[in-house]
Every structure is written in C-alpha cells, then in structure tokens.
Amino acid sequence: MSLTSDQQHELKELTSQKFSTKRPTVPALEEILYEPLKVLDHGFVRVVDYMGDDAAIVQAARVSYGKGTKKVNEDRGLIRYLMRHWHSTPFEMCEIKFHIKVPIFIARQWIRHRTANVNEYSARYSVMDKEFYIPAAENLAVQSASNRQGRGEVLTGKDAERVLKLLKEDAEQVYDHYEEMLNPEGTALARELARMNLTLNYYTQWYWKIDLHNLMHFLRLRADGHAQYEIREYANVMIDVLKKWVPITHESFLDYRQNAQNLSAQAFTVIKRMIAGEKVTEESSGLTKREWAELQATLGETDA
C-alpha cells in the first residue's frame, strides 16, 4: 500500500488542520479520517469526508412520524425497527466519501453499483503508476465446476508458482512497453492510447461518495461469502468503517442484513411443517433440488 508523494503531502496538510463546526461529528471516525486502510497488496480505503451519524437517521425518521410520537422509541430501537422493516429514506440522510485504490478488474465489477458518485483517476491526463495486484498463493484457485463465476480447489506447487510467475512477468512487460510508448524521445504516443495495453491487475483510484442506505446494500452483497475474494476484502474494511461511523446502524445491519437469511414463501411453509413435527423430504417439500439444498444449508443440515 502506498500514497503518491502528492497524496502524502495532502494527507499531512489535511491532518494538521483543525475546524470548528456546529454539525455533529463522530470521534471514532475522526480518528481514521484521511488515513489509508490497507487492502490487498497495494490497495487501500480511506475516508475523506462524511455527513450525519446515528442521530441523523433518528431525526429524519421522526420528522415523518410527527411530533406527537417523538418519544415512542429510543434511538436504538427505532433504528432497528427501520432496518427490520426495510425503511430506506432515513438512512439516505447520511453520506460518506471514500478514496479507494483498487485493481482495475475489481473496479469494473464495483462500478456496476450505480448508486454512488464516482470520479476516477484519468490515465488520459496522468501516467499510471507501476503498481499491480499479485494474489497471495493461497488465493489462486481453479475454475469452480459448479459455479461459472467462482473458484474451486486452490492451486499448489508448481502450478501455483507458474501462474504467479506469468502474472508478474506479464504485468512487468506491459508496463515497460507502456513507458516505451510514452517516451517523449521515442514514439511519444498519446497517454489515452498508451494505456490500452495495461493489464487489468494494475491499480486505479477513485473518489466514491454514497449514502448510507446504498452503502449497506453494496456491503451486503460484496461482503457475502459468495462474492469474489478481492472485492470482499474491500467490503470487510468498509464494514469496520461503518462500525466506527454509525455503531447502532452497524449492529442492526449485521443482525438484519449481513447475518440474516431470506426465505421464500415455499421455504417458510416447509419450516412451519417441520416445526409442527412433520418429516419433510426433498420429494415432499415442493421445492426444486437447488432450493432444497439452499434451505438445508440455511438450517445447517447436511442430509435431508
């Protein structure tokens, strides 16, 4: 993980400044403000700005309820109620802005979440840094036989060594060619063209601003065990940020989103039959084979 010299200078200037404000601030988040939090080999996440806290969510929710019900729930109870019943607008009142350094192939996956404001490093304007992602050996795996977008068994021995060697050599070579094409005493190719041969494991950077509701949606999907390992690492760091920023919301997010289970009407019926003492099998459940397997996994069962 590294910041450029300009970013290091900016960080020094920002952390040396002090501001007085009438707006609520969050001490735990202020402690890590601007600081890069390491992800993968060269990546990072850092908070550069935020607005609102747990109290802002409560304030927004009570506006819609009206003055007469102001004391119905304590803050924690109200936030848990909002989360439990999938209310969204009170959480949209809080926003956070991140500076993120991420491999390009993960950035292309990340950008599919179209609910944020994004401003990415421009390789048309600036020269790309020579920093690329090389997975740790334990994260190299073959294609899953059952999941077209997932990984199977971990590569070991000479196979793993060969893949790591290829990844590094390819990334090194394309950057050498990139520099050669940019050379003002050589071809002096335009930056917008020279960048096109860089591999997808090179790092890009962006500022990513999002409201709390959509941030939690992103984290619920990308911190899930089925998500790709690399983006999951970023999501896990951001969940730690969430805990510092809005601890009550973080608690309810874990309870009602990340660690909760969604059941279809048919699966719920099966569970009620089981509770009533009925012996339900895959054949009698009315579920498809996949649905039955997923229900068994949810219930912690290994055999029907």
Q: Please state the rounded mean pLDDT for residues 122-148.
A: 87
- Determine whether 232 is an active site residue: no
**Average pLDDT of the segment spanning 64-79:** 65
End-to-end CA distance of the chain, in Å? 47
Higher pLDDT, 140 or 72: 140
The 3-state DSSP class for residue 29 equals helix
Q: Is the pLDDT of residue 71 over 50?
A: no
Distance CA 106, CA 195 (A): 17
As a whole-number percent, the residues of the chain with pLDDT over 70 amount to: 94
Closest CA to 252 of 73, 23, 66: 73
Residue 1 has pLDDT above 70, yes or no: no
Task: Give the pLDDT confidence of 240-280 residue by residue, as tens digits.
Answer: 999 999 999 999 999 999 999 889 999 999 999 999 999 99
| pLDDT reading at 6 higher than 90 | no
Q: Which of 46, 62, 80, 222 is catalytic?
A: 222
Determine the pLDDT at residue 68.
41
